[in-house]
Structure 1
Amino acid sequence: MTGKKLLFLGNGKARISSARLDLRFASHGLDVETFWAYGNEFPESLDGYSGIFLSGSPHGAYEDVPFIHQEHELIRDAADRGIPMLGICFGHQILASALCGRDQVFRRGQCEVGYKWLDVTSEAQADPVCSHLGAKMHMFVWHNDEVRADHPDMRVLASSDQCPNQVWRYRDRPVWGIQGHPEITLETAEDWFEASRARLEHDGADLDELMRTASEAEDAKLILDRFAGLCRQ
C-alpha cells in the first residue's frame, strides 16, 4: 500500500455492488475504506483521505433523506479541502447538487438506457483523467435523473444524443461525475442485465440489443484508473 486512503461511499441498497469497484481502486495501491452511506455510515472526519468515490443509488439527489443531506455536507467539506472526488450515476448527480445547486438535478421525461457512443468535448483534451479520450467514447447508460449542462461551474466533458451532460468536471478542481456505468464488464454484462431485467424492460431496454452492443468500455474504465492514480499522488 502507498499509505494513500480512498473513502468509498456506498449509496446503494448493498454496502458494495457486485461490480466491486473497491477492489479495482485497491488494485492501484490505495487503502480503500468503505462506509455505507445508504445505511447512514459516514467517517467522523475527512482527515487523511486522498480521494473519495461516490457510488450509485436507487434514490434521487434531490430527495429529502437524511443520508443525502449528510452526503451533501461531506461533499462541500471535501471540495473546500481540495480532496479529489469521482461519482458514478447518483454519485455524479449528488456532486452536482452539492456543488452547483439542488436545481441542477431533475427527473427526465423518459429514461435513457443502452450502450451509447458519447461525444467527447474539447474540454477533455487537457483534463487530468479524460485526456486519453478521442472524439467518441462507448459506455452503458441508464438513468431517469439527469444533471443539467449549463451551470457556469461545470465543464462538460462528454454528452450523448439525449443527455448533454454525461461526464463533467467541477471548475478546475479534481472533481468529476460520470452519468453512465463504466464498471460493467463484458464478462459480467449478461448476468448484470438479467438480474435487472424487470427494471430495464420497464425503462424501455431491449436485453438482446444490450448484449449485441455491449463493450468493455475501456476508455470509460480508464477514467476510473486515472482517478485512482491521481489519488495516489
Structure 2
Amino acid sequence: MRIGILQTGRAPDALIETSGDYDQMFRTLLDGHGFEFETYAVLDGVFPENADTADGWLITGSRFGVYEDHNWIPPLEQLIRDIHAKGLPMVGICFGHQIIAQALGGRVEKYDGGWAVGRVEYQQDGRTIAMNAWHQDQVTKLPDGARVLGGNEFCANGILAYGDNIWTVQPHPEFKSDFVGGLIEKRGRGVVPDPILDAARNALEQPIDTDEIASFMASFLKKERA
C-alpha cells in the first residue's frame, strides 16, 4: 500500500541527525506494516498530482498555525476535501488533525488554557492511552460529521473521526521521549512557560503507547472499505 506523507513542518536541525525529520518519524513508526511511502513537502509547495496519487494519506505536525496566511494551506485544504470525497484513508497528526478539521468546516484557535507538552493521557473507547504532545492550538469547533473518539479535560476534541476514512489525533504518536526532550531545549525555552517544560521533562521516562497506536494507525489505513 502506497502512503503519501504530506509534510507540513520540519524538526529542528539540531535534532534531525538523531531523530530524523517529521516524515522519517512516521516511516519509522509504521515500519514493518507493509507500506511504501512517498513524501510531499507541501510546506514548500510540493503537492501530489491529485488525491489518487496514493492509496492512503498522512498529514504531519508543524510549528505553523493552520489559520496563518501561508500560500500552501488553501491547496492543502482542497486536497483534504478531495481525499475525503473519494473515501480514501487519511490520518492527521497535530497540525494534520487541525488542518483536516479546518478544511472540513471546523475552527482551530490558540487555546486560552495554554500549552500541552510531553506525556498526555487520553480516554478512548473506555481505556487510557498515553502519547507525547506539543501544542497550544486546538480544534474548538467540530466540522459537521466529525465524531469525538477521545480526549481529556485539557483537550476535549483530542481524537476525531470522519466517516470511515479519516482518523486524527492532537498529540504525536511519532514523537519519542528523547525527541521531546530535545524540543524542550531547542524550541520550548522562552516560548512555553518553564514550569510546563520542567514537568514534561520530569515525565519523559514514563511509558507511552507508541506500538499500540502504530498498530491501530496501520490497521486503519489498510482496512477494507466499501
What's the TM-score bracket when you normalise by the shorter of the two chains?
A: 0.7 to 0.9
1:226 aligns with 2:223: no
Alpha-carbon distance in structure 1 between the residues aligned to 2:224 and 2:44: 26
1:182 aligns with 2:170: no
What's the counterpart of residue 119 of structure 2? 115
Distance 1:18 1:214, change over 3 A: farther
Letter of the structure 2 residue corresponding to residue 8 of structure 1: I
How many equivalent pairs are there? 212
1:79 aligns with 2:70: no
Letter of the structure 2 residue corresponding to residue 197 of structure 1: E
Write out per-residue CA displacement over residues 68-92 of structure 1, whole angstroms, 9 at most, x where no aligned residue: 1110010011111111110100000
Alpha-carbon distance in structure 2 between the residues aligned to 1:208 and 1:48: 40
Alpha-carbon distance in structure 2 between the residues aligned to 1:149 and 1:218: 30
Distance 1:160 1:5, change over 3 A: same
What's the counterpart of residue 63 of structure 1? 68
Alpha-carbon distance in structure 2 between the residues aligned to 1:77 and 1:21: 23
Alpha-carbon distance in structure 2 between the residues aligned to 1:231 and 1:62: 34
What's the counterpart of residue 12 of structure 1? 9
Write out per-residue CA displacement over residues 139-188 of structure 1, whole angstroms, 9 at most, x where no aligned residue: 12221100125544211111112110111001x23101110011123xxx
Following superposition, the deviation at residue 26 of structure 1 comes to: 5.5
Letter of the structure 1 residue corresponding to residue 85 of structure 2: D
Name the SS of the counterpart of 1:139 in structure 2. Answer: strand
For normalisation by structure 2, the TM-score amounts to 0.82
Following superposition, the deviation at residue 44 of structure 1 comes to: 1.5
- Mark the runs of 5 or more structure 2 residues left unpaired by the alignment: 12-19
For normalisation by structure 1, the TM-score amounts to 0.80
Name the SS of the counterpart of 1:148 in structure 2. Answer: strand
Contact persistence 1:100–1:153 (CA under 8 A) = no
Distance 1:232 1:12, change over 3 A: farther
For the aligned residue pairs, the C-alpha RMSD in angstroms reads 2.5
- Mark the runs of 5 or more structure 1 residues left unpaired by the alignment: 125-133
